[in-house]
Amino acid sequence: AAEVAGLEAEIRALAKEKDAVILAHNYQVPEVQNVADHVGDSLQLAILGQKVPQSTIVFCGVHFMAESAKVLAPDKRVLLPNLSAGCSLADSITAESLEDWKARYPGHAVVTYVNSTAEVKALSDICCTSANAASVVRSLPQQKILFTPDRNLGRWVAAKVPEKEVVVYDGCCPVHDVLRSANVEKVRASRPEAVVIAHPECRADVIDVADVVCSTTAMISAVEKFPSARTFIVATEHGIVHQMKKRWPDREFIVADGCIGCRMHCPYMKMIDLLMIRDALVRGKHEVRVEPDVAAGARRALERMIAVPR
Ligand code: 13P
Ligand code: SF4
């Protein structure tokens, strides 16, 4: 504990000296969340990166998130402490596979979830997040939509916006897709009063048994909608429980697979530790760069999304 406290103090001093802000996603390991200036969901952090006064952003999350921060704040230096922190969902679609899909579905507006590379975003009409996906689809003049890359989020949106014809790409997040409603029901059997909060990357059978479905930060805030509930079953990556317990210390949070850190575990989100953050600050590792034309296309898709009223 003394070692962690010493590293934390060193990192905070270095961040000040280097004019850096530390942003951490809700799935990061507790020590990383604790040392960060801000903890949030992917979109929130990218927008925050634009607004904060610091010239360097140390992004503790996965590569596509750091890339979005760079795209939205091109004049800032964005550092990802571990370049291996990828995302299976973002990797499920490439620029080439999106080009193929676009050719197969002419006349469709392409809506791409932010969990994607800047190259894929640049080939899309507009981006969306788990928080605004339905509003984004509703806002488009086109009747036909090609939704990429998450099939679960895509199907959830299609059900919410039945007036549109939504074709869904076949990608998914394995961390969420592994969960079944039977797992949730098994946990609920011992706590029938529990409220179920799910991320829309979960499969439809899980969404159907959830009381609330929203982005990670909205999942944390959703607790306040249930003042008399003591127990919450959380259907997303287990790292979120750290923020939930911090904000709501008198409530109980159980990961929906019934075993913290077993299946709903994103290995990419656990690739950054305090030593890497210190290294990132000392050595400027690893700077995230996006080709100017790709960045311009991705920025257009992200800014179109940000302009959509919720
Ligand atoms: P949020 O944008 O809701 O934080 O989700 C990011 C993510 O990677 C979910 O798996
Ligand atoms: Fe990607 Fe899934 Fe990990 Fe989120 S939880 S970063 S979508 S692999």
Q: Are 240 and 254 within 8 A, CB to CB?
A: no
Per-residue pLDDT of the chain (310 residues; tens, 9 = 90+): 888 899 999 999 999 999 999 999 999 999 999 999 999 998 889 889 999 999 999 999 999 999 999 999 999 999 999 999 999 999 999 999 999 999 999 999 999 999 999 999 999 999 999 889 999 999 999 999 999 999 999 999 999 999 999 999 999 999 999 999 999 999 999 999 999 999 999 999 999 999 999 999 999 999 999 999 999 999 999 999 999 999 999 999 999 998 766 789 999 999 999 999 999 999 999 999 999 999 999 999 999 999 998 7
Query: What pLDDT, on a 0 to 100 scale, did the predictor assign at position 42?
Result: 85
Query: C-alpha angle with apex 32: 180 to 240, nearest 5 degrees?
Result: 25
Choice from 68, 89, 216, 272 to test ligand 2 binding pocket (greatest atom count within 8 A of CB):
89
CB of residue 124 inside a 6 A radius of ligand 1: no
Which ligand 2 atom sits nearest the alpha carbon of residue 27? 5
Other C-beta atoms closer than 10 Å to the C-beta of 289 total 11
Q: Whose CA is nearest to atom 4 of ligand 1?
A: 41
Tell me the pTM: 0.96
CB of residue 65 inside a 6 A radius of ligand 2: no
Cα of 62 vs centre of ligand 2, distance in Å, is 8
Exposed/middle/buried for residue 250 (C-beta within 10 Å: 0-12, 13-18, 19+): exposed
Cα of 175 vs centre of ligand 2, distance in Å, is 7
Query: Of the ligands numbered here, which is closest to the C-alpha atom of 132?
Result: 1
Which ligand 2 atom sits nearest the alpha carbon of residue 87? 1
Domains of the chain, first to last: 2-86+269-289 (3.40.50.10800), 89-173+294-306 (3.40.50.10800), 179-263 (3.40.50.10800)
CB of residue 173 inside a 6 A radius of ligand 1: yes
pLDDT per residue over 175-186, tens digit each?
999 999 999 999
CB of residue 179 inside a 6 A radius of ligand 2: no
Which ligand 1 atom sits nearest the alpha carbon of residue 87? 8
Exposed/middle/buried for residue 36 (C-beta within 10 Å: 0-12, 13-18, 19+): buried
Place of tokens 């850096």: 20
Q: State how far the Cα of 119 lies from the Cα of 113, in Å rounded to an integer.
A: 13
Q: Are 197 and 233 within 8 A, CB to CB?
A: yes
Query: What pLDDT, on a 0 to 100 scale, did the predictor assign at position 85?
Result: 98
CB of residue 125 inside a 6 A radius of ligand 1: no
